[in-house]
Amino acid sequence: MGNASPVIVVRPFLPPAAVAHVELLLAGYDLHVRIARPRRTKLGDHRPPATGWTAHRISINANLNPYAFLTTLLHEVAHAATWERHRPRRRVRPHGPEWKREFEAILAPVVGAGVLPDELAAALARSMRNPLAATCSDRGLALALARYDEPPPGRVRVEDLVEGAFFRVEGGQAFRADRQVRTRRKCFECGTGREYRVHGLLFVEPLDAEPTVMARSSQPRRRKTSRRLRRRVGSGPRFG
Ligand SMILES: [Zn+2]
């Protein structure tokens, strides 16, 4: 178990503009930060000092984009701050008003310094007004953070395709992209002509031409209502 200074551990994962703030923030706590192998269930977690440990222990998944990493780190430091302030036996809910106050206080200078892109700062502000805050299924925040994910090799976002472009999703279905409708893209499935709405942030494989698909019937079926393509976008692990 190394005891490298937390800021040295987290620096490579942060947006560069946030490093000075984080360094200042972390200096106020006795913290041990560990970069964890990506977990499916949580982005990070916090454990307070316990027998044999004088420090707070925070872990954060290694595969987060810089803004998701920063948000998760601040979220977990807010747990440490809450524990420090309310430790005298009083039980506080993990994401109750006490935690929220600490998170807001930690967030304020970062937002004030313009470290976060405007849309993300707005999503965080909305998230703080939501009684279910950052806790369980804060999809608005998850989607705002997903926007900064790097595309896997050879993939592009559905919303970045030109109209009429063909693409394939994980799992094999191929589509032709139509116009963007709010957060989703209207698409037609190759072979069946069925209309789908595909989330604009989904990473897909662009195709040079329409793939030859074994048509199930010669007549393309057009449904009156389009169906949603169910793929995970912004519904990954939660804050711990
Ligand atoms: Zn939490």
Transcribe 36-74 into DSSP letters.
E---SSBSEEEE--BTTB-SEEEEEETT--HHHHHHHHH
Ligand 1 centroid–CA 196 distance in Å is 35
Give per-residue pLDDT as tens, 71-120. Answer: 999 999 999 999 999 986 677 888 888 998 999 999 998 888 889 999 99
How far apart are alpha carbons 95 and 92 in whole angstroms? 8
Ligand 1 centroid–CA 8 distance in Å is 23
Nearest-CA neighbor of 198 among 189, 207, 206, 190? 189
* CATH hierarchy code of domain 156-228: 2.30.30
- Average pLDDT of the segment spanning 142-150: 92
How far apart are alpha carbons 78 and 85 in whole angstroms? 10
Strand order through the sheet with 44-47: 31-36, 56-61, 44-47
Show the DSSP H helices in 116-157 as ranges: 118-129, 139-146
How far apart are alpha carbons 33 and 209 in whole angstroms? 48
Give per-residue pLDDT as tens, 5-52. Answer: 999 999 999 999 999 999 999 999 999 999 999 998 899 999 999 888
Ligand 1 centroid–CA 154 distance in Å is 34
Instruction: Return the top range by mean pLDDT from 100-109, 132-141, 225-234.
Output: 100-109
Ligand 1 centroid–CA 178 distance in Å is 39
Ligand 1 centroid–CA 78 distance in Å is 8
How far apart are alpha carbons 24 and 2 in whole angstroms? 21
What does the block give as tokens for 20?
A: 């000075």
Check if the beta carbon of residue 78 is closer than 8 Å to that of residue 102. Answer: yes
- Annotated domain spans of the chain: 6-146, 156-228
Nearest-CA neighbor of 142 among 215, 42, 14? 42
- 139 pLDDT more than 90: no
Lowest mean pLDDT among 43-57, 122-136, 141-155: 122-136
Ligand 1 centroid–CA 181 distance in Å is 33
DSSP string, 200-236: TT-EEEEESSPPP---SSSS----SSPEEP---SS-S
Ligand 1 centroid–CA 200 distance in Å is 28
Compute the half-sphere exposure of residue 22: CA atoms within 13 Å on the CB side of its CA. 30
Average pLDDT, the chain: 88
Lowest mean pLDDT among 137-146, 148-157, 230-239: 230-239
What pLDDT sits at residue 1? Answer: 46
How far apart are alpha carbons 20 and 188 in whole angstroms? 48
Ligand 1 centroid–CA 46 distance in Å is 8
- Average pLDDT of the segment spanning 160-174: 94
- 221 pLDDT more than 80: no
